Amino acid sequence: MADAISFSRGAPSVDIVDIEGLRAAADRAFTNDPAGTTAYGTAVGYVPLRKLLAEKHGVAPEHVVVTNGSMQADAFLFDELVTPGASVVVEKPSYDRTLLGLAERGADLTAIELEADGISTSALRAALEGGLRPTFAHIIPNYQNPGGSTLPLEKRQELIELAEEYDFLIFEDDPYREIRFRGDELPTMYELAPQRVVYASSFSKTVCPGVRVGYLVGAPDLIAKIVRRATNTYIAPDMLAQSVVYELAQDKPRYDAAIANVKAKLRERCDLLADSLEQHLPEAKFVRPDGGYFLWAELPESYDVEAAAGKMADFDVAFVKGSDFLLEGGKSSLRLAYSAVRADQVDEGVQRLAACLNAHKS
Amino acid sequence: MADAISFSRGAPSVDIVDIEGLRAAADRAFTNDPAGTTAYGTAVGYVPLRKLLAEKHGVAPEHVVVTNGSMQADAFLFDELVTPGASVVVEKPSYDRTLLGLAERGADLTAIELEADGISTSALRAALEGGLRPTFAHIIPNYQNPGGSTLPLEKRQELIELAEEYDFLIFEDDPYREIRFRGDELPTMYELAPQRVVYASSFSKTVCPGVRVGYLVGAPDLIAKIVRRATNTYIAPDMLAQSVVYELAQDKPRYDAAIANVKAKLRERCDLLADSLEQHLPEAKFVRPDGGYFLWAELPESYDVEAAAGKMADFDVAFVKGSDFLLEGGKSSLRLAYSAVRADQVDEGVQRLAACLNAHKS
């Protein structure tokens, strides 16, 4: 029996993690700052990393809190902002764990259609003109999860205008930004309008997810509230992880080379996946991502992706059914993560995927 | 100006952290399990460490969840068990962050007097006979924080009998257990009555607090609920930290020697502190702890410890005022952590402390 080929989890395969770089960084962490690496620290995060991130985003350290992964940061942010019944705009489709986290806190979710170039700002404008008054809009601007689309500059600006006009916050959720394969880097919405945006990112997609380091950038009063929640929850995040990430980033040539390697490998996997889909599953429609980890495929309604997902183990393949990323619908769509499938396995994986899906076509 | 001598934080000083052991363990983690150390993992924790902890406590792995420090585990547990108005028994005094975490969730707290040998089981029995029906009782059985007292076997057994008779859970919060200076190790209440107890511990006090690894042991259905909360909060805890702790524990001679060193140093600091207090602050009453990090001192009512705490910086000394550990009262008591004060500084620290306190005596 062949091993399963998994397009399900948005995580890098171990062959593209810079294990030797991490080993050396851990060694330096214990040499350069033994006390800071092993003592409690405080809930703001490892101070040198917080400072580095503040510099990267062009703000003072008071704008930044570093957490055990960015999902933990999201959880604190939602605890702070989402009271039961609070109106929140999400993308349609969007990251399943974000939808769950918002729903669990009683948010009143409005899902706005994702287009090939990100959220439909015209649909959002229409909803706002129709009376929608969100607390915030959750936006994944780069190579969206699961949609794969990227928001162009004009739409970023339009979103900010809408946020200004209708007085809401943009939660810019941006873990994939540095994994761009094609096209020019775009400014973050946080850069364009810091007063209207709280920004989240992570090292899970660039360094590795097992070293759980994420962060928020936002207004100092909001960040101070998050820090208070973090103190009461865990005193301080893991200092070893943050000290290792800091040391990694200090060796800039190696760090840049490691990210360049991740990008090259993911680009190769992404293009192979897109090519194989065109060959083996020609009815699938998808946006070829400019970066990131995910490709979103939509099939004709004759495909029952939910039923196929229930039988994927029989075909030694794995994916995530589209309905997980939507409040309703999505029964003929699916998310394919190409991040963990080595190049030599992609075509075989797509053939298994096609067999699985075609077996559930009416 | 002299540097402040701080008896405030319950953390080891860096000179008793085995930095070289940690460095070697990190190196082994990247060699022995590069994928497990850097990939997401799941919310149960790093699987080999979970298994090791299960073996240590004589249970199957399903009874254990490993988290980013034990306070994070407490937070999940309180989210699971404490609905607003739920009755919870706490010790008087008790760890300030526990009291805060319970109060924030709307618990109805009943504080039961701590005696020189731990919680007053007769006072608890009287409260239960008077109609108290707690969801659980939070107990720190070994070298209590802040009280320094240890619960003898008979009282552990009596607590379990009360829990059986009045149908409540015991939350056995036991981070200091391995730091025993004197006397015999006692069985945990979890060992004595696993069906009545959920047990928490940590590596913060034995390895170091910056590597944030704590855990819960309990009934599989309760642990499964905690794992679900953990998944929804952060997907998985930091794998690097847990893999490093696992590797540390695998080198048993070195690990045991590191803990023996921590114990020897803390015992020395504890005894010096007690001796210095008897000399320089003879009115202070305290229990000489059998282990752990903390000594609790009670002064005559003529001392205004709250006022003294407000001026401690002027005396280049730091401590935590007793009222932080109590729902009410404690104005003439204080907690002294001897964990971070090197032996050659203890006497000088106590002299400063005495000067500070005596300046606030009526």
Question: Which A positions 78-107 lie with beta carbon below 8 A of chain B?
Answer: 97, 100-101, 104
- Distance from C-alpha of B97 to C-alpha of A231, rounded to nearest angstrom: 9
pLDDT digits (tens, 9 = 90+) for A25-78: 999 999 999 999 999 999 999 999 999 999 999 999 999 999 999 999 999 999
Question: Which of the four pLDDT bands, split at 50, 70 and 90, describes residue B11?
Answer: confident
Judged by CB atoms closer than 8 Å, whether chains meet at A14 and B38 is answered as yes
Tokens of A97: 């764990």
Whether residue B320 contacts residue B334, with contact meaning beta carbons closer than 8 Å, is answered with yes
The secondary element (H helix, E strand) that includes residue B51 is helix B47-56
pLDDT digits (tens, 9 = 90+) for B74-86: 999 999 999 999 9
> Does residue A258 have a pLDDT over 60?
yes
Question: Which of the four pLDDT bands, split at 50, 70 and 90, describes residue A2?
Answer: low
Domains of chain A by range and CATH? Answer: 5-16+255-358 (3.90.1150.10), 32-250 (3.40.640.10)
Tokens of A25: 């960084």
pLDDT digits (tens, 9 = 90+) for A109-140: 999 999 999 999 999 999 999 999 999 999 99
Question: How many CB pairs below 8 Å do chains A and B form together?
Answer: 157
Q: What is the ipTM of this complex?
A: 0.96
> From the CA of A230, how many Å to the nearest CA of chain B?
10
Q: What is the DSSP letter of B34?
A: H
Whether residue B115 contacts residue B287, with contact meaning beta carbons closer than 8 Å, is answered with no
Interface test with chain A among B77, B95, B238, by most A beta carbons within 10 Å = B238
- Distance from C-alpha of A315 to C-alpha of A5, rounded to nearest angstrom: 9
Tokens of A228: 């208070």
What does each C-alpha distance from A180 to A31, A175, A187, A215 come to in angstroms? Answer: 34, 11, 13, 20
Of A241, A219, A184, A189, the C-alpha closest to A70 is A241
Question: B289: helix, coil or strand?
Answer: coil
Q: Give the pLDDT of residue B2.
A: 61
> From the CA of B241, how many Å to the nearest CA of chain A?
7
Residue B18 CA, chain-centre distance (Å), reads 20
Whether residue A155 contacts residue A121, with contact meaning beta carbons closer than 8 Å, is answered with yes
Judged by CB atoms closer than 8 Å, whether chains meet at A210 and B39 is answered as yes
CB-closest option in A210, A238, A243 to B38:
A210
Q: Summarize the confidence of residues B55-62 as an average pLDDT.
A: 98
pLDDT digits (tens, 9 = 90+) for B289-307: 999 999 999 999 999 999 9
Q: Give the pLDDT of residue B12.
A: 87
Question: What share of chain A in percent tops pLDDT 70?
Answer: 99
Dihedral sign for Cα atoms in the order B274, B278, B281, B282: positive
| CA-angle at A60, arms to A59 and A64, nearest 5° | 85
**Which residues of chain A are within 8 Å of residue B244 when distances are taken between CB atoms?**
240
Q: Give the pLDDT of residue A1.
A: 43
Query: Residue for token digits 């094609």?
Result: A182
**pTM value surpassing 0.90:** yes
- Distance from C-alpha of B20 to C-alpha of A362, rounded to nearest angstrom: 63
> Does residue A195 have a pLDDT over 70?
yes
Question: Which A positions 6-35 lie with beta carbon below 8 A of chain B?
Answer: 9, 11, 14, 17, 19-20, 22-23, 26-27, 30-31, 34-35
Question: Which of the four pLDDT bands, split at 50, 70 and 90, describes residue B169?
Answer: very high
Q: What is the DSSP letter of B361?
A: B
Judged by CB atoms closer than 8 Å, whether chains meet at B208 and A17 is answered as no
Q: Summarize the confidence of residues B126-147 as an average pLDDT.
A: 98
Question: Which A positions 185-214 lie with beta carbon below 8 A of chain B?
Answer: 204, 208-212
